[in-house]
């Protein structure tokens, strides 16, 4: 079973080059578009060598896929944050239900102090 290669459209490559030319760092653009910085540099070099003939192959649309992947990552992150906050809320509710007798822990020492 061979490794499949991703194929990008001409528009995707031109948009990536445009972002590079606008002053954004190659690392930032590469992470955002999920490609290697070396690939971005190669695309820019190919475009500068022959602007009209560069990227004439048939590519597939990847911009929508990268946006979808970004949203899925965001959903996963927010789910983890929600789970953490729910667990924290349960802990506080248990402490409150236990009624720790008006005592509370100080932040620095961890020792109890009376109110």
Q: Where are the domains of the chain?
A: 1-61, 63-97
As a whole number of angstroms, the distance between CA 25 and CA 20 comes to 7
Pair 62, 9: CB distance under 8 Å: yes
CATH topology of domain 1-61: Arc Repressor Mutant, subunit A (1.10.10)
- Which pLDDT belongs to residue 63? 55
Per-residue DSSP letter, 53: T
- The mean pLDDT values, 10 residues at a time, for the chain of 115 residues are 76 90 91 92 90 69 69 92 95 86 59 57
- Which pLDDT belongs to residue 57? 66
The number of CA neighbours under 13 Å toward the Cβ of 41 is: 6
As a whole number of angstroms, the distance between CA 11 and CA 90 comes to 50
């Amino acid at each position: 079973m061979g490794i499949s290669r991703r194929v990008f459209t001409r528009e995707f490559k031109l948009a990536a080059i445009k972002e590079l030319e606008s002053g954004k760092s190659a690392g930032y653009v590469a992470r955002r578009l999920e490609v290697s910085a070396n690939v971005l540099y190669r695309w820019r070099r190919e475009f500068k060598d022959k602007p009209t003939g560069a990227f004439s192959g048939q590519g597939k649309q990847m911009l929508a896929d990268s946006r979808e992947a970004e949203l899925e990552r965001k959903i996963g992150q927010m789910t983890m944050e929600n789970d953490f906050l729910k667990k924290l809320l349960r802990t506080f509710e248990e402490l409150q239900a236990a009624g720790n007798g008006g005592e509370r822990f100080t932040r620095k020492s961890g020792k109890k102090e009376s109110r």
